[in-house]
Structure 1
Amino acid sequence: MTQTWTDQTGVVVLPGGSSVRGRRAGDPASLADFALLLVPGPVPDWPHRRIRWPDFWVPTDRADALDALREGLRRAVAGERVEVCCRGGIGRTGTALAALAVLDGLPSRQAVDWVRTHYHPKAVETPWQRRWLRRLD
């Protein structure tokens, strides 16, 4: 069953048509069905997975991060409201949203421009985050 977001703030439509929300952890938000947490700290009241992802860097465990991102994408494709959260809601969250777009069929060389156009103009903040995305193809 497809769920809809009650608030469209931070919601992007992936290349395949599924919606995913990016946001800053801790900000008030409407309910999600599943969260990918890229920061330590409190957890939401809905199912979630935490990815160890230091600020301004890339995930510490590539295989675990890709598994979690693929789970998020599967859930989004199935119609669940999936969100991605980090402390600032821009760098790690933007990189994860770009990764979801690549996993959903977007060529990796287009990922940074795509996420900056559809989510936040400063998403994907560091050269190593850009390099990590290019290696997803």
Structure 2
Amino acid sequence: MKSTWNPSGAGVLCLPSGRLVRGRALRRPFPPDGPLPTYAVHLLGRQPPEVPWEAHWLRWPDFRLPADRAEARAVLAEAWNRAPVDRVEIACGGGRGRTGTALACLAVLDGVPPKEAVDFVRRHYDRRAVETPWQRGYVRRFAD
């Protein structure tokens, strides 16, 4: 059986259901004392390097929105569904804008009202998460 994250681990967001998901900046090294992900979603404009765990690349340029919104919805739903049993990691270059936006969308899937999801992620993950007005708008419309 796989295991999930330590709730007090670096970058770990506990959703209202108890699901744990880690957000991370790909430009930074892994926390030295923590486990590796078992499933990751990489939010980048270019294809990332291969990793030794299962990963999905979602084309999402910096400061923008996902290139394919239907694919983004499906990939984020998969991450949310896997979070109870896998160490799911959501990661972009800096770990704030795209990662925060994706984490806020996971919060919406978890039952947080879309208008409250950005504040939820800023309180529980990073106070500067979700960097642009169009990223905030994307989260508000994610439930539609």
Normalising by structure 2, report the TM-score: 0.89
Is the 2:15–2:107 contact (alpha carbons within 8 Å) kept by the matching residues of 1?
yes
**Number of residues paired by the alignment?**
136
1:27-79 deviations in Å (ceiling 9; x for gaps) = 322311100000232232100111111101110100000000000011003x1
Residue 122 of structure 1 aligns with which residue?
Answer: 128
TM-score (norm 1): 0.93
Q: Percent identity?
A: 51
1:63 maps onto 2:70 in alignment? yes
Where structure 1 has 5 or more consecutive residues not aligned to the other structure, the ranges are none
3-state SS of 1:84 partner: strand
The answer to whether structure 1 residue 88 and structure 2 residue 94 are counterparts is yes
Matches within 5 A, 1:1-137: 1=1, 3-5=3-5, 8-29=9-30, 30-39=35-44, 40=46, 41-77=48-84, 79-137=85-143
Whole-angstrom CA distance in 2 between matches of 1:43 and 1:101: 28
Alignment check: 8 A CA contact 2:96 2:128 kept: yes
The runs of at least 4 consecutive aligned structure 1 residues that moved more than 4 Å come to none
Distance 1:47 1:2 in 2: 13
Q: CA RMSD in A?
A: 1.4
Contact in 1 for aligned 2:21/2:87 (Cα 8 Å): yes
